[in-house]
Structure 1
Amino acid sequence: MKKVLIAALSCLTLLSPAFAADPIAARKDVFEQYKKTFGAMGKTMKGETPYSKNEFAKLAAHLDELAQLPWQHFPQGSDKGKTEARPEIWSKPDAWKTAISDHKAATAKLKQVATTDDMAAIKAQFGATQQTCKACHKSFRND
């Protein structure tokens, strides 16, 4: 219940006028949530935290929800200011859209696989999802 409340409040925050006026802050907030969620999942995959099917499935579902959010916060002109976004986001929109689609498909599949007890499939899809993040960073983010 606590996580649902946090997710709901996060979504409300992202929809607030302040974030609408500052797309860089809005997308950074979403990606910070990504980092926390993906980090918790990674600790489980590494065996640093005990595996709980229900907990991991909740994290995967939250990641899939997050995968729907940041892209709206990359309007034209939001490459100015304190951002790691590369100009290729706007100069190569087809490649950007493909990267987004690939990532959304990967997170959706991870959400689905996370409801099973097939750890090999879960680890493989977690890795595949992680690769979509890395591919996007390589092409569209100044690290």
Structure 2
Amino acid sequence: MWWVIVALILGVAGLQAWIRLAPSHPEDWHVAPRTAEAVDMPNGVQRAVPAGNVPLERIDRIIRATPRTETLAGSPRAGFITYVTRSRVWGFPDYTTVTVQDGQLVIFARARFGRSDLGVNERRVERWLADFRLGG
């Protein structure tokens, strides 16, 4: 019976290691949104708001201030940035791409693992957009 417990512990540890250590290749995740409109998905969300003359540096500052978030590829100067934000306990990676298309600030956020992100990306993106609108 003890071997079942050991196998279970090793299985959970292996899963945790895969989630935390799986490589994030920019060529897989640093992709432009297909459209500049709002889209709801089971494992993510896309939002678009008028960009005006506001530089991408402003949304970049807001996003990089989010805990457990780092830049995967791109830059505000390039006009196209992808970030990785990891969940607190398990370290699940969510990928968010930000760009300006057709005068719209487009934020495309999606989970890497699972069929549903339980609304995590939508809540995060809406918080970022609220800060952006307030001049964050």
Task: Tell me, yes or no, whether TM beats 0.5.
Answer: no
- Indicate the structure with greater helix content: 1
**Higher Cα Rg: structure 1 or 2?**
2
- Indicate the structure with greater strand content: 2
